[in-house]
């Protein structure tokens, strides 16, 4: 039982044909060849890795792969394909947060246009217009803070009900950052219209 293998057994093992089949092997079927020593396996892996391509070809190939991945990511951001989205946008929780934000009106999405108008009013050298610009600025900031707080509270509650076993960390902050962008400029592109239930 614990004796060493005879020379005949070793010779038969060396002569056993090595099959390079692409089909998966049944885990309970015999392998048909001896397990190689670690040093032999490492040498074989190194030789396969080193003989495939030169460093210049390897760089060109990795550049092409990166370019392809970026192209897929851009297309996914445009059409909402979950498979190729960046990690921060993946998952059902993030998708629901996006749809929740895209389906409702948010004051924060008009922050930039309102800021430009207020800035222009404040640059005019008329005291009453500068006072109006200051009051408008305060009103916009308070309105955005209140709207964001209400949105965040409602979204956190709905996420807790809909996805009790999913990782919800950062989803509310992700949604609130999305409200700061105008709807047609958001990426991934909105998949729901205003008023639709996500």
Q: What is the pLDDT of residues 46-81, one digit of tens each?
A: 665 555 677 888 888 889 999 998 888 888 888 877
- In this prediction, what percent of the chain has a pLDDT beyond 90? 41
Q: Are 133 and 122 in contact (CB under 8 A)?
A: yes
User: What span, in angstroms and rounded, lies between the C-alpha atoms of 23 and 52?
Assistant: 23
Q: Taking all residues of the chain, what is their mean pLDDT, rounded to a whole number? A: 83
User: What span, in angstroms and rounded, lies between the C-alpha atoms of 178 and 188?
Assistant: 10
Higher pLDDT: 31 or 169? It is 169
Burial of 175 (C-beta count, 10 Å sphere; 0-12/13-18/19+): buried
How many helical (H) and strand (E) elements, i.e. helices and strands, does the chain have? 7, 0
At residue 82, the pLDDT reads 80
Question: Picking from 20-29, 78-87, 122-131, 149-158, which range would have the lowest pLDDT averaged per residue?
Answer: 20-29
Query: What count of other Cβ atoms lies within 10 Å of the Cβ of residue 76?
Result: 20
What value does the mean pLDDT take over residues 100-113? 93
């Amino acid at each position: 039982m614990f004796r060493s293998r005879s020379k005949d057994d070793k010779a038969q093992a060396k002569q056993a044909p090595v099959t390079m089949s692409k089909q998966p092997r049944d885990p309970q079927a015999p392998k048909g060849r001896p397990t190689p020593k670690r040093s032999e396996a490492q040498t074989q892996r190194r030789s396969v890795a080193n003989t495939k391509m030169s460093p210049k070809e390897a760089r060109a190939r990795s550049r092409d792969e990166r370019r392809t991945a970026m192209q897929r990511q851009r297309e996914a951001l445009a059409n909402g394909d979950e498979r190729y989205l960046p990690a921060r946008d993946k998952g059902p929780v993030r998708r629901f947060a996006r749809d929740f934000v895209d389906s409702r009106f948010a004051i924060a999405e008009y922050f930039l246009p309102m800021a430009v108008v207020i800035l222009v009013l404040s640059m005019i050298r008329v005291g009453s217009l500068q006072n109006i610009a200051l009051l408008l600025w305060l009103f916009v900031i308070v309105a955005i803070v209140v709207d964001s707080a209400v949105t965040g509270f409602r979204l956190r509650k709905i996420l807790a009900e809909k996805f009790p076993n999913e990782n919800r960390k950062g989803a509310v902050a992700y949604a609130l950052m999305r409200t700061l962008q105008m709807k047609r400029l958001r990426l991934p592109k909105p998949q729901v219209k205003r008023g639709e239930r996500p």
